Structure 1
Amino acid sequence: MTQENSLRILAAPVDHNDHDNKAVQTMSVFKSHIAAMSAYSPPLEGRDPEQHLLLDFNERTLPVSPQVRQALLDYLNNDRLQMYPNYGELTERIADYNGISSNQVMITNGSDQGIDLIIRASCREGDEAIIPGPSFAMYYQCAKVENLKIAEPQYTREEEFPAQAVLDAITPATRLIVIANPNNPSGTAVSRETIIEIAKTAPEAAILVDECYFEYTQSTVSDLVNDYPNLLVTRTFSKTWGLPSIRLGYVISSPDNINALLNVRGPYDVNQFAVVAATAALAHPEYTEDYVREVMTVSKPLFEAFLVNKQIDFWPSAANYLWTFPDDPDAINRHLQANNILVRPKADQQGRLGLRITLGNKAQTERLIQVLDEVIPTP
């Protein structure tokens, strides 16, 4: 049979009066719970950095360093696109940056892949997971793909991280506990002591601590991964380093855990652009450090003072964003959009709509305040 004839047969019209054809047409080859899921679809359409001030995705609001840009251009000009990635010393550089051994690090295609690999490697269908909420959608997405039973203790503004509820939810079937430190969208920090207590209480569960905003908080448990073999930390170059488009993250854990995860990760899952950019960024950390310092010590206090003056509720945050709850958030969001400023609407567990607002540098924050001042009266 020729390829052309084969293609004609495959494309032949289905007889919808045939019972067997109907069955073939409606049957999914995928697991039923996956076919029934919905995709995680962040609102990416229409985001134009030339037109908008992007305060909606907790991204770095300024371009990457000249050194990163030049390193990428040099790589393109060296005519190596036809070669497979060569990771070289990137793992060692990341380990040095974190003050740990290179056998405690695995690079990943964004921290999303690290989260996915940890959940896939540690959990079986029907296992129990504890994911305090509301939180980052990818935790739930990856857990649902593995068809886990999810317990979701709730963050509150008053009690912050639901530590006791997490501890109470642990059972012999618990195989995963996710701790976002700090949490997204609330910005809530989790103490080192709380994480240790959870790791001790659930020794058979993977304790996934997502530290993707580490540079803002400087809070970590990465130094404890050899003491607690169930502890796994995920990090990213997407936020403070300003490299979300090239997708680079990493996992920190004990050498045994890293070796096991390397059995699951593909040999070329991380692209060479990510390696080149991250290597250049780590060689010049002052560019990131200066940006973080301005956001956390200038912009954030400035915006918090504005919110307090306007008597607008917001959650205390350890990161570069604030979850705010003004009156009539829809109208305020429309006003911001009309002035080419994008923020992220997010509802709390009671359904109260808030606006999660990323902080940029001082000039960007002053512009944000000026626009908000036009529509929010002072009490």
Structure 2
Amino acid sequence: MSVIKAHIRAMSAYKPPLDGRNPDTNVLLDFNERTLPVSEKVQRALIDYIQSGRLQMYPAYGNIVELIANYAGVGVDQLMITNGSDQGIELVFRSVCGAGDKVVIPGPSFAMYSQCAKIENCSIVSPQYTREHGFPLQEVLDAIEPDVKVVVVSNPNNPCGTLLARDGVEAILKAASTHGNNAAVLVDECYFEYTQATVADLVAAYPNLIITRTFSKTWGIPSLRFGYIISCAENINALLNVRGPYDINQLAVVAVRAALENFSDVSSYIDEVMLRSKPVLEAFLDEQGIEYWPSSTNYIWTFPVGPEAVELALRAAGILVRPKADADGRLGLRITLGTLEQTKKAIEVLRVATAS
């Protein structure tokens, strides 16, 4: 008999379809990644570190927290680094929840929220996003009862790209800390660079606010696993008790330091995606009458007729997108926005595939 807890044995592992992805032969529009390699300066920094004879040493992070805190506009005591934002999410659930607690996770959304909640044996309440109304704000507010321990706001949400306005986030923060409630509000800002929407300035005013961010998306280093948490100093000090002292890869720190020193590379990529590529894809979808969810970030959830055949046509052309079903089981295709050239290539295939 297994020694593992019964509720964990009963779970299913989160297994994203990563096999067979090759940037040399495919245009990778399936995982919301940066679609170009990182800058030469980031690559050079990694090579220099590898050749410095220090790989045999435990990580030493230096002033990386201070550098990121300056970038994020928060105090050094309001930020901690994590092994990707996934670890940040996990730390929140591990540190806040116990077996039988309720959590509110609007759906459909990023699978790791539910995965972490299930590991802690929590009960999940899942109000649903809709294309017409976006974030289910009133349903979330109604669900915040005294036994709720975490409320998740994925901002913007994956897969639909929906952004909850600042006043909506504040309404949740207030509801989660009044009338007998004391719930953490986890605001996932992993696409912050694309939206520029944040509530990081509110962490001092709302002790129940915890923000997660990542260097996996815009910054282009998901393989190195680097993220960070923003919250009040008291929460950060407590979460540091749970995170291990060596959890963050030294190479990730080297890459992030170089990336922060060369932000122009990141900002030019953001402009390419949001100001050039995205309007072209949206115009094509409107022209063809293909339904899609309005998006605030670097991907668009589309619903062409015959999505399976369209996905196969894109795959045959070397373009990978991500099939994602909505709450009713209707299959759509989430398309990551890359460069204008990459988007135009995808449109060429979509034009033929959706016309047949």
TM-score bin (small chain): over 0.9
Which of 344, 349, 353 aligns to 1:366? It is 344
Which of 285, 297, 309 aligns to 1:319? It is 297
Which of 204, 208, 222 aligns to 1:230? It is 208
Residue 342 of structure 1: aligned partner: 320
Shift of 1:377: 2.4
Which of 8, 31, 50 aligns to 1:57? It is 31
The answer to whether residue 73 in structure 2 is matched with residue 99 in structure 1 is: yes
- Give deviations 1:216-259, integer Å, cap 9, x for gaps: 00000011001000000000000000000000000000000000
> Structure 2: where are the runs of 5+ without partners?
none
- 1:371 aligned counterpart, secondary structure: helix
> Structure 1: where are the runs of 5+ without partners?
1-26
Q: Which has the larger radius of gyration?
A: 1
Shift of 1:372: 1.2
Which of 285, 298, 305 aligns to 1:307? It is 285
- 1:345 aligned counterpart, secondary structure: strand
Residue 195 of structure 2: aligned partner: 217
Alignment of 1:1-379 (within 5 A): 27-203=1-177, 204-377=182-355
- 2:332 aligned counterpart, secondary structure: strand
Q: d(CA) in 2 for partners of 1:238 and 1:51?
A: 21
Residue 5 of structure 1: aligned partner: none
TM-score between both structures, scaled by the size of structure 1 = 0.92
Q: d(CA) in 1 for partners of 2:3 and 2:353?
A: 52
- Give deviations 1:313-339, integer Å, cap 9, x for gaps: 000000100000000001101100100
Q: Which residue type is aligned with residue 200 of structure 2?
A: S
TM-score between both structures, scaled by the size of structure 2 = 0.98
Shift of 1:197: 0.7
Q: d(CA) in 1 for partners of 2:350 and 2:133?
A: 29
Q: Over the residues paired in the alignment, what is the CA RMSD in angstroms?
A: 0.7
Residue 9 of structure 1: aligned partner: none
- Give deviations 1:327-352, integer Å, cap 9, x for gaps: 00011011001000000000101111
Shift of 1:265: 0.2
Q: Which residue type is aligned with residue 174 of structure 1?
A: V
Q: d(CA) in 2 for partners of 1:159 and 1:99?
A: 31
> What percentage of residue pairs aligned between the two structures are identical?
61
Shift of 1:371: 1.4
Q: Which residue type is aligned with residue 192 of structure 1?
A: R
Q: Which residue type is aligned with residue 306 of structure 1?
A: F
- Give deviations 1:19-70, integer Å, cap 9, x for gaps: xxxxxxxx22011100110000000010011110000000000000111000
